[in-house]
Each structure stands twice: as C-alpha cells, then as structure tokens.
Structure 1
Amino acid sequence: MRDNRAVTSPTPRPWTPAANAPAPRLVATDLDGTLLRDDKSVSPRTVAALAAAEKAGIEVFFVTGRPARWMDVVSDHVHGHGLAICGNGAAVVDLHGGPGRHRFVKVRELTPETALDVVHILRAAAPGTSFAVERTGGLHHEPTYPPLHVEPGESVAAAEKLLADGSPCADQPVLKLLAHHAELAPDEFLALARAAVGDRASITRSSPSALLEISGPGVSKASTLALCCAERGIDAAEVVAFGDMPNDMEMLAWAGTSFAMGNAHPDVLAAASGHTVANNEDGVAAVIEQILAARGPSGEDSPDPGDRTPGTPESK
C-alpha cells in the first residue's frame, strides 16, 4: 500500500500532474459528503464534470457505503459501464435501468456465522449496542435500533434471529452488519470495536453518529475497487479517488492520487495525497475540471510545470 501523506493548506491549490505519473484512467468517488452536496443533490457543475470525464475516456465509479436501493440519486449519471460499488465494497451493482432495477454483479458477503460472532463480541464489549442486518433484499433490525433513516425494516427481531438459518431472509446474502451505540462517541466506539473484533471482520464508519458498518474480513471500498480495476487492466497509479470519512481511508491510500474533501474527518486527511474544497463547493468537480484542463491536445497530461504547491498531490 502506498505511503500517501496529505499535503494540506488553508486554501487548496490547482491540481497538476506529478512528474512521470500516468494519465488518470479512472475516478473513484464517495457520495455523501463528497460528490453530493449536503442536500443530497448532484450539482449541475458536477454532472457536467462527470460527463466530461467519461467523454475524455476516464471511467467514473461511485464507491459508497450506501445500499444499492439508495443509488437513485446518481443512477441518472452513470455512463458506459453503469457500475457502482455499494455497501463499502460488499457489492458491485449495475445501475442500468434506473431506480429499483439494479442488478448485483458481484457480492462479497459477510457470513451469518461471522456476523453472529461479532454480535456476541460487541454485546459483551459495549453493552447497549443495537444491531441491524443489511442483506441484498433490504434492511432488518432489532427493536432497539434507532430510526436513523426514514426506512421501515423488512423485519424486526433480535440480531440472533435475523441471522439464524431459519429466518425468512436467510436466502439473501448479508452485505453488512450495522452496530449503533447511543452513548459512546463515534471514534471511541470504532476503536473499541476494532480492538474487540480483531481480524474477524472489517469495521468502519461513515455516519456522524456512533454507527459502525461491519463487513466480511478484507472487504472494503479499496479492495473491491482494486478488483474492478484489475478486471479493466487499470493500475492503482491511474486512479484518482475522493472521500471524506473513515470508510474512505483505505481507498484513498490505495489510489495513486487521492483527495480528502475540505469537510473531511481529520483522519482522512492523513490517508489522502492532497485535498480539495468541500462537497458544497463542488470539490470533486473542481479537481476533474483541472485534470481535464491539464491534458494536452493528444489527451495526455501536460508536462509537469515543476514546483509543487501546497495542497496538491505529492510526487510518488
């Protein structure tokens, strides 16, 4: 994994290609807090930038913790391949056909046995934890799990019953386990859970509340993006990634060039090779525009102008 150190300044500077860096072939962007504005809209400027990137031959992948059924906000903006990585890497989804008509292309499930093991560990390590189970067919949760989103559960029962072989949804793969704690601070809960669970599962968070997202061991945005890139013959050095929360950190560290948003979690800045302005200021679009402007008439990046300026990606 690359040793990407953030270069930050109060005001982000224009993007310039690093010396001898290959031209970007793929843009990987998180959604909430990154591509989307706080009102969950995709700005006209961002829509235009995404289309221009695709027209220039740069693939765009949406890489999100969202389940596939929440992808309607961007399903009109997929181009070419039409694929998105959902559930923090647990699924690759074809969004062609629009909302409600998505198709799972790849599923990297969390086995019910592992999920049950994690439930038991966290009940002991953090009493008061409540759980929800995200399967390919929808969300199932415990009676004490808070209504964090306006979405009724497909079923309501104790996690042990939701994960049992005889549950009504047992035929649906588990994409992730969600764990919420009403009293612990978000980062405190994350650190506690990672220490208690170890390498049994991958644990991260993207919510401002103490809500953890638990996937199968080794499953992350980064690892699934790497699989998708390998299938296309795209190297990490040819990827530009964007994110704002801890669940983006592995992806930002893996990509050859990465940007933390101006509104990013402090830890995310350390995982990215640069930073851009906030999501409400169209930070993703601003960088894409700069990438396209830097390409010469032949479509290749223009020569490196030389001096690095604060806030731009470091040479690697």
Structure 2
Amino acid sequence: MTASFFPPAADARPRPRLIATDLDGTLLRDDKTVSARTVAALAAAEAAGLAVVFVTGRPARWMDAVAEHVHGHGMAICANGAAVVDLHRGGALSEVRPLPVPDALAVVAFLRGAAPGTAFAVEHTGGFGREKGYSMHREQGEVAPVEKLLADDAERAGDPLLKLLAFHPSRGADEFLGAARAGAGAYGEFTRSTPSALLEVSGRGVSKASTLARYCGARGVSAAEVVAFGDMPNDIEMLTWAGTSYAMANAHPEVLAATTDRTAANEEDGVAAVIEQLLHGA
C-alpha cells in the first residue's frame, strides 16, 4: 500500500510544521525496532525544519531504547499525555499531568464491584507497581494490592501518578472499556492500546491529543500544521485533532473509521513513506 500526501500546490491546508507519531504498531516494527529507513526519514524531517514528537502510551522510562533507535531526535509525549519527555536531554521530564490518587481509588472501587477479577497496576514517574494478579507487565517493582500502592505511606507516595492500569482476563476489550467509561468516566480518561482487556486511566482531560495541543500551542503551531500517525483507540483523539492524520494499514477498525488518510503498515515503514513524500513534495 502506498502512502499518499497532498501536493502543496493543490491543497488548501498549510504546510506541516510538526510530525506526531505513535510508537508501538505505528513507528516501531513488531519486534519493537525502528528500521533504518524510518531513522533516516525522521532525521531528514528534522533537518528540513519539521519538529518530530513521539506520542505514546509508553512510560517515560521506556523511552531510552527508542531514543537510541532515532538518534535522539524529537520530543516524546508519554503515558497517553501524562508526561512530556525531552529526548535531546537524556529523557528529562519537562511536564507532568498526573492522575489524582483519590480519582484513581474511585476507579478501583468501581471496577472491583463492576468487574470482579480485575487486577491493577500503577505507573508513577519513579517506577511501576502491580498487584499479584496483574500479568500484563512483570517488570521489577513493588507487588501489593493497589490500595496499598496508592496509600499515603506507600513507597512511591511522593511521585506523581501517571496512570492506572486495569486488566481483566476474560472480558472483551471494547466491552470492558465501554463499561468503565460509563461507570467511572467522571474520575479520569479511559482508553486502551493493546488487543487485551487492558484499560489505561489518565487524569481528567489528559490524553495524547490534549497534551499535544498544549505542546503545539506553546510553540505557535496550529492543529492544521500537524501530521499525525496512529493505530489504536488511544490515538483517535490525536488523529481527529491534527490537521492531517494517517491510520496505519494495520490499525484498529475505530481508527480506520476516524481518519481519511491511510499509509502502509508498521511492518512496511508506513510513517517513513509519508515523510519521504512530504519532503519530496516540499
């Protein structure tokens, strides 16, 4: 599948000034690497004066490997908008938009009752903690009931809470997301970025789109000047906010329905294909 980009002389939209791209399933290949072609395209974009922003559900601590792949190009909006990371400065946090602990606990209480068997994990700026039954990420960190992980005397009580994760082993992914939004939507923003019934909960008003809009607004970049790429439901708000947005060929059906432009799958360097055409057209 060949990516298409509007010819500058034939389209009323302004020339892009910023590229915003998701990572997993979008920029990264399935083995979590970045192809040489994509590295070259990102470097060429920055050399041509286009800002590059990676917009991901990943926590900030997972950005080191990506920074290696892309030679330190760009900024990163992490944890679905809860943190902004400067890859040019070794991954330093430049903004944090936390989930208030009382809101996180309200979500936990709702899901404990509405979806028995839900297991929780927490992403703080300083690290990760999970319940014993949470099987999605088994990295190092404290293992305890989520209420203890979020207690005033918890190990990471002083670190901002970036997001709450809630996993159910048997619920359908979309059904679980819909039920959580309907019952606990007043306490945070709910989304998902994997095929599993794994919910990612951010603070109210915090999303990839809202943080990207803040980032662009502070730099005088309008939505119309942004080209965005994504593949999963947590990308939809960003894709509908950006002036030009591309769904990957491998995207979730809701993402395909929300965008008008398409590019090749992540395994076929779809993001690089569009950037190359953009720079060639420029």
Query: Which TM bucket (shorter chain)?
Result: over 0.9
Root mean square deviation of aligned Cα: 1.3
Unaligned runs of 5+ in 2: none
Partner SS, residue 88 of structure 2? coil
Q: Which amino acid aligns with 2:218?
A: E
CA contact 1:12–1:277 (8 Å) conserved in 2 = yes
Letter in 1 for 2:212: L
Runs of 4+ in 1 over 6 A off after TM superposition: none
Distance 1:282 1:13 in 2: 10
Q: Which residue does 1:30 correspond to in 2?
A: 22
Higher helix share: 2
Question: Which of 97, 102, 121 lines up with 2:110 in the alignment?
Answer: 121
* Structure-1 separation of matches of 2:3 and 2:63: 31
Q: What CA distance in whole angstroms lies between the structure 2 residues aligned with 1:260 and 1:202?
A: 22
Which residue does 1:15 correspond to in 2?
Answer: 5
2:45 paired residue among 53, 57, 60:
53
Whether the 8 Å contact between 2:2 and 2:273 is mirrored in structure 1 is: no
- Write the distance in 1 (CA, Å) between the matches of 2:105 and 2:138: 26
1:143, 1:157 within 8 Å by CA — same for their partners in 2?
yes
Q: Which runs of 5+ in 1 are unaligned?
A: 1-10, 296-316
User: 1:239 maps to what in 2?
Assistant: 226
Deviates more, 1:184-193 or 1:222-231: 184-193
Pairing 1:223–2:210 present: yes
AA of the residue aligned to 2:49:
G
2:134 alignment counterpart: 145
Instruction: Please report the TM-score for the alignment, with normalisation by the length of structure 1.
Output: 0.85
User: Deviation of residue 79 (structure 1)?
Assistant: 5.3
Separation of aligned partners in 2, 1:190 and 1:230: 30
- Work out the CA distance in 1 between the residues paired with 2:71 and 2:16: 18
Deviations 1:233-261 (A, max 9, x none): 00000000000000000000000000000
Once the two structures are TM-superposed, the CA of residue 166 in structure 1 deviates from its matched residue by: 1.4
Aligned residue pairs total 279
Q: Tell me how far apart the structure 2 counterparts of residues 78 and 238 of structure 1 sit (CA, whole Å).
A: 24
Equivalent residue number for residue 133 of structure 1: 122
Aligned mates of 2:220, 2:211 — CA distance in 1: 14
Q: TM-score, normalised by structure 2?
A: 0.95
Percent identity of paired positions between Structure 1 and Structure 2: 63
